[in-house]
Structure 1
Amino acid sequence: MEIAEATVERWDDVQTVFGTRGGAHHCQCQRIRLGDRAWWYMPAEERAHELREQLDPPPDAPTFGALLGYVDGEPAGWVAVAPRTTFVRYRGSQVPWAGRHEDKDDDGVWAVTCFAVRAGYRKRGLMYELAAAAVEHARTRGAQAVEGYPIVPDPGQQITWGEVNVGTPGPFAAAGLTEVSRPTKRRRVMRLDL
């Protein structure tokens, strides 16, 4: 897989990965960034507009990070990674805070929040490569730590692709993150101090 930074110049590739229906298309990687209240009432077209603006920030804008993965030149995957402070949903959620005493305003901690793998490219292990690229992206931009908040299914439970957009523990572990807490029955907090 070849990795490239997601920019407005790659907008068509972003939308190719997200597809024309389903969770990634509907969300446009905005739910965790905007928070449930703002996201819930916003039409998908407006979410796409928000994302497009995030991919073309003015020089003084907060850091936005997302990467695209290409397989044989075709856009196949997406991963969002940015300072944890940019994700409104996590500020009011028990993920990642339950049982931890973290500074919610620490820009040095980055979060890998969202994966999307294009239909036709799933079940090939692309999430592993995307997670590793996200960690390296955060490292090169000065992150002091990287966290992920994967979902863990109950034994025998199938997880829909829409739920697994936050990742599963395997790709995070392969990228060097280790579990630091279990805020809910199905969610983990994984972290790598850089």
Structure 2
Amino acid sequence: MTISVRPATDFDDIATLVGPKKPTSNVCWCLSYRIPAKENLALSGTARAERVRGLLREGPPGVLAYDDGDVVGWAAVHPRADTSFATSRKIPHVDDLDVWSVWCIRVRPGHRGSGISHALLAGAIGFARESGAPAVEGYPVDNRGQKVDLTMAYVGTRSLFEKAGFHLAAPTDSVLNGFPRVVMRLDLR
């Protein structure tokens, strides 16, 4: 397996990872933290895909992992100021630095357990660094080694972020799947 991670510039590859099998279905499309909550709730069916196309025209909305050309993973990464984390009451700001946020890591079924999430996080860090980010934050669960429900594992785990060099920056008031979420920070300066 040869994994490469690069900025997400191909709509079809993004759709493979975060879009529905049936175009009219309502799925996240990784928009829930990227756009205002009211807009996110109002969008349905194919309008969600069109919103992602619009974001893509503004620049890569994340990174994609490829295994010998086959898309196998996705990580959402973008400046926090353009996400709902900018105004979150449950996830605090550590300081006023213009950090980037990583909020979704997804690996295709059949490819999980092979280190792709680690490669995605490294690729997200690299993309943020190349884009001038002074730091990157993630908001994973602190599951202390316990199993996380697969549908909620998209935020990552504290240990995944620690292995990538992040440090615990702050606790949060957010809980996901019964586990507290924490702010993990990696300075890039």
Normalised-by-shorter TM-score class? 0.7 to 0.9
* Contact 1:17-1:118 at 8 Å conserved across structures: yes
C-alpha distance in structure 1 between counterparts of 2:115 and 2:47, whole Å: 31
Q: Could you tell me how far 1:150 is from its partner in structure 2?
A: 0.4
Kept in 1, the 8 Å contact 2:143–2:158? The answer is no
- Equivalent position of 1:67 in the other structure: 63
1:4 maps to a residue whose letter is: R
Give the deviation of 1:152 after TM superposition.
Answer: 2.5
How many residues align? The count is: 178
Partner residue in 2 for 1:60? none
Q: CA deviation at 1:110?
A: 0.8
What's the Cα RMSD here? Answer: 2.3
**Who is 2:172 aligned against?**
183
- 1-side partners of 2:20 and 2:149: how far apart? 17
1:19 shift after superposition: 5.3
Structure 2 length normalisation: TM-score? 0.83
Deviation beyond 6 Å, 4+ runs, structure 1: none
Alignment partner, residue 12 of structure 1:
12
**What runs of 5+ residues in structure 2 fail to find an aligned partner?**
174-178
Bigger strand fraction = 2
1:167 aligns with 2:156: yes
The TM-score, its normalising length taken from structure 1, stands at: 0.81
* Contact 2:19/2:27 (<8 A) preserved: no
Q: Which has the higher helix share?
A: 1
Q: 1:80 aligns with which of 76, 81, 87?
A: 76
In the alignment, structure 1 residue 119 sits paired with structure 2 residue 109: yes
1:5 partner amino acid: P
Change in Cα spacing, 1:45 to 1:154, as seen in structure 2 (3 Å) is: farther
Residue 119 and residue 152 in structure 1: after superposition, are their counterparts in 2 closer, same or farther (change >3 A)? same
- The separation in 2 between residues aligned to 1:163 and 1:93, in whole angstroms, is 20
Amino acid at match of 1:93: R
Letter in 1 for 2:121: A
* Structure 2 counterpart of 1:193, one-letter code: D
Matches within 5 A, 1:74-153: 74-97=70-93, 100=94, 102-103=95-96, 106=97, 108-153=98-143
Contact preservation (8 Å) 1:132, 1:174: no
